[in-house]
Amino acid sequence: MSNDILNSLLKEYDQKKLKAELECDERKNNLYRLIPRLQAIDNELNSFAFKTAKNILNNSLLSDNSNNSYTVENLEEKIKNLKKEKEKILNENNLTLDYLKPFYECKICKDTGYIQTQNSASAMCPCLKQKLLDISYNKSNISNLNKENFETFNINIFSDSINSEKYRLNISPRNNIINIKSKCIEFVNNFDNPDTKNLLFTGNTGLGKTFMSNCIANELIKKGKNVLYQTAPVLLETVIDNKMNKYKNSKQDNFYKNVLEADLLIIDDLGTECLNSMKLSELFTILNTRLLNLNNKVTKTIISTNLGINNIFRNYEERIGSRIAGFYDIYYFFGDDLRLSTKH
């Protein structure tokens, strides 16, 4: 993801934040005209809050004049009473205290795009991360996410006939996909468990591997997880291009960080890319880094491919094959090409 895209999004955030705050000021001013006492209360609250802070800093008594002096406790009591009066006035007018606050689109970051972490460092808000990833979705044809989910998953388009001679399995494609769907729902429900394995979907084209990946993506996005989808050819080409630009410009690229740090990375169509040593190296780095769960963050990966595990070992480096064989649950999709089916 280029810095231009990030900067453009941050400008949108600035505009949203400004709009929310201007609308809040307008609501306040309208209310002040209708109920002058509210403005007087807010002015007093601001004054007393300043005095309380100053008193704490000075660790001494404050005096409004020579006859009245207030301790911190006195000031806090006055503030408490004023807040009660303010809330009562609002309630009498069928309003809440939130009415006088900005209505930010994101309550976590207040439309800034960033939040403060426990160590006071600045971190990107999940809402901004997801917007960046959404752009990647659009580029990766994951726009069907709303249509492809467990609710729209139709098991009836899979054959219920057993053909052990053809598929060498004593189970029908329908029962097989029911089992796979059940395991995928378990994957979603246990996603945050570090012991939950990654997923490898293998089988011919047109058997629902990408659809199943999108079902999982849909559920995890609902849970607030960041999901990044890319086909293997686009993923490896983009990663290499971005890394080359990084070395030229000495800047970390957001796309590469998302590939390594997204809660779920979906790599579709592994085996359709044109391989070379650089791509093999990058693929290993991606898979291995995501297995390490850096910074105590659980990250999972789903790979879909037409290749069986033996062909993965044959076509890729031993270290890549061993990572997949050891840390992925492997599910075999079989049956007739669903794209040729007349059923929907």
Residue 207 covered by a domain: yes
211 and 145 together in one domain: yes
Residue 1 covered by a domain: no
109 and 133 together in one domain: no
Q: Does residue 47 carry a pLDDT above 50?
A: yes
156 and 20 together in one domain: no
Quote the domain boundaries for residue 81. Answer: 12-122
209 and 278 together in one domain: yes
28 and 158 together in one domain: no
The 10s digit of each residue's pLDDT in 9-25 is 999 999 999 999 999 99
The total domain count for the chain is: 2
Q: Does residue 280 carry a pLDDT above 90?
A: yes
pTM recorded for the entire structure:
0.62
112 and 161 together in one domain: no
Q: What are phi and psi of 278, to 5 degrees?
A: -70, -40
Domain boundary among 70, 105, 122: 122
17 and 69 together in one domain: yes
Question: What confidence tier does 138 reach under pLDDT thresholds 50, 70, 90?
Answer: low
Residue 210 covered by a domain: yes
Q: Does residue 64 carry a pLDDT above 90?
A: no
295 and 322 together in one domain: yes
The 10s digit of each residue's pLDDT in 297-342 is 889 999 999 999 999 999 998 999 999 999 999 999 999 888 776 4
The 10s digit of each residue's pLDDT in 165-175 is 888 889 999 99
Domain boundary among 77, 102, 122: 122
The 10s digit of each residue's pLDDT in 71-130 is 667 777 888 899 999 999 999 999 988 998 999 999 899 999 999 877 778 888 989 988
130 and 153 together in one domain: yes
Cα atoms found within 13 Å of the Cα of residue 280, Cβ hemisphere only? 13
On whether the CB atoms of residues 75 and 68 are closer than 8 A, the answer is: no
Domain boundary among 122, 138, 161: 122
176 and 301 together in one domain: yes
Residue 2 covered by a domain: no
pLDDT at site 31: 93
Question: What confidence tier does 246 reach under pLDDT thresholds 50, 70, 90?
Answer: low
Quote the strand ranges of the chain, DSSP E: 62-63, 69-70, 114-116, 122-124, 198-203, 227-231, 264-270, 300-305, 328-333
What number is the average pLDDT over the span 229-246?
84
113 and 148 together in one domain: no
322 and 254 together in one domain: yes
Q: Does residue 250 carry a pLDDT above 50?
A: no
What number is the average pLDDT over the span 125-145?
70
Residue 20 covered by a domain: yes
pLDDT at site 57: 63
Those residues whose C-beta lies under 8 Å from the C-beta of residue 108, and which sit 6 or more positions away, are 115, 125, 126, 127
Rounded to the nearest integer, the mean pLDDT of the chain is 85
